[in-house]
Chains A and B, each alone.
Chain A
């Protein structure tokens, strides 16, 4: 039986400011394409279950867990990974600076989720009432939540 729709095997998208056309099976998880095909390793792979948040990226500014996102879905959309926050001169993003100042990195595994969720929330509302609800999709195995909270709560002023 013929269908009017072909399987998606090519995706044109923008990743960290670079437009790319990827020859990929559209059903692969975005995290695998970022790490295996594009060598973008700041997007970590933890649980593959949507629990830990280590694979968080922004898609059109919205935080998503990239282990759950079919790469075929990002055609025509803008993906930002933690690597993409770096300035042209290699400078850290202000939110990253706050994490550094607060000693909130620890092992660094959960960083993509915590930093990107903070950045996304501050872009939407530069003076948020409460950022903690924006971060509850990220698990820190080091249990360094106090330092993360310190960094996140300092971030609104740094972000401006």
Chain B
């Protein structure tokens, strides 16, 4: 496993203990691989996928693995909060708790893989981007001179591409506390496979309990997550398996016409065709109050 090393490329494993030190390491703009959990980086290193061999591990940064509730309607997830921590913490927003418990690879992966690492890797087939868009989360990005917040729908730019700039680090994810009902559904073809489609359904209620707005954010089906607003009456009928409403929902999803994703799990046509069905499952779970 020898890496091509030029005179300008630095190598080595760094585990800074302050954000300042981490950002100093990134500040020269040299090729660097940032490690959140490591579950995505190490397979790349093992396969000689071109990956910078200067490794900056965030594991020792203070607070990077914390889940905090600030008391004004925002839950802050440190970038290196693991799926296991998300699944166990009562502070975790419910949608993310469901998502975390359903990550494949066993407790070993759930105890190591991180929400921030998955966001930065931006694999279209991952659970995380779609859920962060559904939650209207903000990503907190820091460089040596400032910190900025970017909405998840702005952060994901394409397959394996984000708005993260050179020298910038994702330090946290902020999830607003939105009151409503959630449902999550995922289609995958193997127990240990990546998702083919995910759907996060959200229902907003009026004061008298009727449904005022419905949206479904679809992940894993397109280059970036896609959110579809669904008329409440259509959502209710589709969740009840009314065939014409199912067709209507599918048409609505297909009409969003994103850049449908193809990978070894499924091609774009397949994903386009199943997205509506997975959306209907998520809606049904949200409506039945049985989110997972």
Using a CB–CB distance below 8 Å, which chain A residues touch chain B?
Answer: 1, 3-9, 25-27, 29, 48-51, 53, 56, 62-65, 67-70, 72-73, 113, 117, 120-121, 133-139
Contact = CB atoms under 8 A, between A and B. Distances in A.
A136 B46 contact: no
A62 to B, nearest CB: 5
Contacts of A25: 12-13
Nearest to B27: A1
Contacts of B17: 5
Nearest to A45: B46
Contacts of A6: 14
Interface in B88-107: 104-107
Give the size range of B's interface with the partner. Answer: 35 or more
Given A3-B21, A70-B38, A27 B46 contact: no
B43 A49 contact: yes
Interface of B: 11-18, 20-22, 24-25, 27-28, 35, 37-39, 42-43, 45-47, 53, 55, 57, 59, 104-109, 111-112, 191-192
Contacts of B22: 5
Contacts of A7: 11-14
Given A50-B43, A136-B104, A137-B107, A68 B112 contact: yes
A152 B11 CA distance: 43
A1 to B, nearest CB: 5
Q: Which 10 A-B pairs have the closest CB atoms?
A: A137-B106, A7-B12, A27-B13, A26-B13, A48-B46, A68-B42, A5-B16, A5-B21, A65-B108, A4-B21
A68 B107 contact: no
Nearest to A138: B106
A147 to B, nearest CB: 19
A4 B20 contact: yes
